[in-house]
Amino acid sequence: MTFFVPSSLRGKIIATTGVTVLVGLISLSVVNILTARSHALSSLGSQVKALATSHAVGVGDWIATRHLVVKSVASAVNEADPFPYLKQAKIAGDVDTVYIGYADKRTAFSSPQNLPADYDPTSRPWYQQASASAQPVVTEPYVDAGSQKLVITFASAVKEGAQVTAVAAADVFMDSVVRNVASIRPTPGTYG
């Protein structure tokens, strides 16, 4: 490949000026692209951080509300028929089931359950975790004994002195949690 090299001084000056202008334009374009990219990424990062913080606050509020529902059920532990309280707590808390597991192995549920005949609430992870804690707890997901579905439980121990008399609890099926997370769409084309 041969290059045209002007022989006159005027041609050399014009060629040099043209090359200089071209190099300057290319350099300016690269700097503009890199600057715009940097600002876009920075803006996107800030937006994602703000959205994540917002959703984290929402999840924290959701958990706190379920804890309050469970704590409110504690007043029904000594009732002869806690069913009306449990049913109301289920509706108010927007949970799948609200129940009380007693230390003497009795249970009371907000709706009928398909439990095995030898069901012992004191052996369940939600009961044991809540009994060992001074605060309300949230379990890791586990398979529910009645529905055989994956569930998380919000639970709080009811104590007389240091003795646990019962544990109030509320179940949320994981498919509800999954639907909630799947509904998070921070921006078009993204998902939680």
- Write down the pTM of the prediction: 0.70
Task: Give the residue with greater pLDDT, 120 vs 56.
Answer: 120
pLDDT tens across 146-192, in order?
888 899 999 999 999 889 999 999 999 888 767 767 776 666 776 66
Spatial contact of 101 and 127, defined as CB atoms under 8 Å apart: yes
Torsion of the alpha carbons at 82, 70, 139 and 53, rounded to the nearest 10: 160
State the burial class of residue 158 (Cβ atoms within 10 Å of its Cβ: 0-12, 13-18, 19+). Answer: buried
Hunting for tokens 């937006």 — which residue is that? 47
Spatial contact of 97 and 121, defined as CB atoms under 8 Å apart: no
Sign of CA dihedral 66, 126, 87, 147: positive
pLDDT tens across 52-68, in order?
787 778 778 888 888 88
Paired tokens of 48: 């994602």
Alpha helices in 74-122 (DSSP H): 83-93
Question: What distance in Å separates the CA atoms of residue 103 and residue 92, rounded to the nearest whole number?
Answer: 26
Alpha helices in the chain (DSSP H): 9-73, 83-93, 125-131, 174-182
Q: What residues are paired with 173 via a beta bridge?
A: 151
> Nearest CA to 73 among 38, 42, 98, 101?
98
One-letter amino acid identity for 155? Answer: A
Residue 1 has pLDDT above 60, yes or no: no
pLDDT for the residue 170: 94
